[in-house]
Structure 1
Amino acid sequence: MRSIEGCVALRVRDHRAAAPTPPSFAQVAREFPFVAIEQLSADVAGDNAIRVSISEWRDSAFDWWTFDRAIDGATDGATEAKGLTILLTGAAAELPAVSLELLLRCQRAIARRNQQSCSTLFDAVLECHRAIHDVSLPLVQADLAHALDVWQWLLRLAPDASLAVQLAALFHDIERLVTESERRIEQHASDYQTFKDSHAARGAELAAALLRELELADDVVDRAAWLIATHERRSDEPELALLNDADALSFFSLNSPGFADYYGPEHTRMKVAYTLNRLRPPSRRFLDHIRLRPEVRALVDESLGARSCRGNPR
């Protein structure tokens, strides 16, 4: 029996969507309240929209790079892409689940905030953050996208997240702008954990210097710097664990396709295991809603299966 075809428009707004949400998209609306959801006919033209079909999205050869550049281009130098519209077409029954996957991929362009980050001071932080990223360099463009995505994951996991941990999310990988802006070197480290600890410590120093120039309170800067300095190790400290969860989920939802292409299967296998170890078991439920490439999904399943066999929580 042939499935019924449909189309949904996902429109980013700078305010909570006021229009009624189709019942089947209730979870999408809860997760992304600043996205208006409108069901349309499957043959709608969709001028000036990013159009994606479910079959394209599910294809193992999906062009992640082109899709991401379209999303980043929609921001046009701003922090958030107000007016961005994605048209998703395909089997009507699959539209809600795939809409959630799509929005997870491009949430950096939605830029939700909370009371701690709704201020002119935080606007200045975001301007500074963007200014230090030379997006003409592909690896730096990827670092900027990841930083914003970690920030968005953080707010999804903890809507009341403090100012300090939001700053840590944005600046946690700032050290890469100095050492890995044109080529990555982590795969050559003789001791990966030592390499990551050094990256975190140097990043904390760089971030603290920048944030002090913005005249943020010393205690906030100190807290953000501490979180950055220690974020590469698993911890039960609540905010550090939160930052680790957000960083890990962003790796899977945003970075993993490019990472696999750049580093190859063996380093990717190690990275997947390392990242899952930093991700608390309750937060692993989000992996079910993330579109992973088949080879990355296989590595996730392999690593989780190995952990289960060792008696560790999945």
Structure 2
Amino acid sequence: MESLLASARSWVKEHAGGQALHLLKTEEWLKRINPAASEAMLLAALTHDMERAFPGPDSPKQDPSRGPDDPLYLQAHSERSARIVGDFLHEQQAPPELTEEVMALIRVHEVGGWPAADWVQAADSLSFLEVNVQPFLNMMSNARTGWSPENVRAKFSWMYTRIRLPEARRWASPLYQQALERLQQQKDFFETGR
């Protein structure tokens, strides 16, 4: 189990660039909130956004004006990540059943739907709230990105409220409150200049 996870960690570090920390932290959060997480759950948590590491003509583009829960974007992103991770696992000679399970979890990592999927989704949200708040605040300061303060607030709120597991939501609550406070501070700074 550990050698496949170690290979996946190396793959993430080598290819995911600025997203690597989020992916690595997602695996860490899953281990923290569910010490009994399966290998498939850990692999899915670690690699769930890998499509972003391999841009191509079929890369989905998120339009902030459509909201953070745009089902077309979420499905395209999740399906493309599952396909890319499935190819990686096949190259690593992972058992086909394990590969299928990881791909199934990645396909629903944005929405959850069954216990294992809900754990992966919760770990994704926790990691997002820990390490991806500042990048979204930075995007807000660049008008060309389309991420207004309202869009960023909606993203932060969605990443928190989508967590289905009460125990994970308890971990997420202080991170979410800090994210909202940082958002308000940045809004105040832009509006007043101090």
* Distance in 2 between residues matched to 1:120 and 1:179, nearest whole Å: 27
Q: Distance in 2 between matches of 1:197 and 1:189?
A: 17
Q: What is aligned with 2:88? A: 210
Q: Does structure 1 conserve the Cα–Cα contact (< 8 Å) formed by 2:8 and 2:47?
A: no
Q: Deviations over 1:13-59 (max 9, x none)?
A: xxxxxxxxxxxxxxxxxxxxxxxxxxxxxxxxxxxxxxxxxxxxxxx
Q: Higher strand fraction: Structure 1 or Structure 2?
A: 1
Among candidates 10, 22, 39, match of residue 127 of structure 1: 10
Q: 1:176 to 1:288 in 2, by over 3 A?
A: same
| Partner residue, 1:231 | 109
Q: Give the conservation status (yes or no) of the 8 Å contact 1:189–1:195.
A: no
Structure ranking higher in helix proportion: 2
What is the aligned-residue RMSD (CA, Å)? 2.4
Does the aligned pair in 2 maintain the 1:253–1:292 contact within 8 Å?
Answer: no
Q: Measured at CA, do residues 123 and 187 of structure 1 come closer, stay the same or move farther in structure 2, by a change above 3 Å?
A: same
TM-score (norm 1): 0.49
Task: Choose which of 284, 287, 290 in structure 1 pairs with 2:172.
Answer: 287
Amino acid at match of 1:216: A
Equivalent-residue separation in structure 1 for 2:132 and 2:109 (angstroms): 18
Cα distance per residue 1:80-104 (max 9 Å; x no partner): xxxxxxxxxxxxxxxxxxxxxxxxx
Q: Which moved more, 1:188-197 or 1:253-262?
A: 188-197
Structure 2 distance, partners of 1:297, 1:162, is: 39
Tell me if the contact between 2:26 and 2:45 (Cα under 8 Å) persists in the aligned partners: yes
Alpha-carbon distance between aligned partners in 2 of 1:221 and 1:189, rounded to the nearest angstrom:
35
Q: How many pairs does the alignment contain?
A: 170
| 1:138-191 per-position Cα deviation (integer Å, ceiling 9, x unaligned) | xx32x10100010000000111211111110111001112349xxx94235647
Residue aligning to 2:159: 275
Structure 1 unaligned residues grouped into runs of 5+: 1-115, 134-139, 299-314
Q: What amino acid is aligned across from residue 223 of structure 1 in structure 2?
A: E
Which amino acid in 1 is paired with 2:3? T
Shift of 1:270: 1.8
CA distance in 1, matches of 2:161, 2:151: 15
Relative contact order: is structure 1 or structure 2 higher (C-alpha 8 Å, sep ≥ 6)?
2
Is 1:176 the equivalent of 2:59? no
Contact conserved, 1:173 with 1:203, CA < 8 A, in 2? yes
Residue pair 2:160, 2:172 contacting (<8 A) in 1 also: no
Q: Cα 1:223–1:297, aligned 2, differ >3 Å: closer, same or farther?
A: farther
CA distance in 1, matches of 2:37, 2:184: 29
Q: TM-score, normalised by structure 2?
A: 0.77
Q: Is the 8 A contact 2:86 2:100 kept in 1?
A: yes
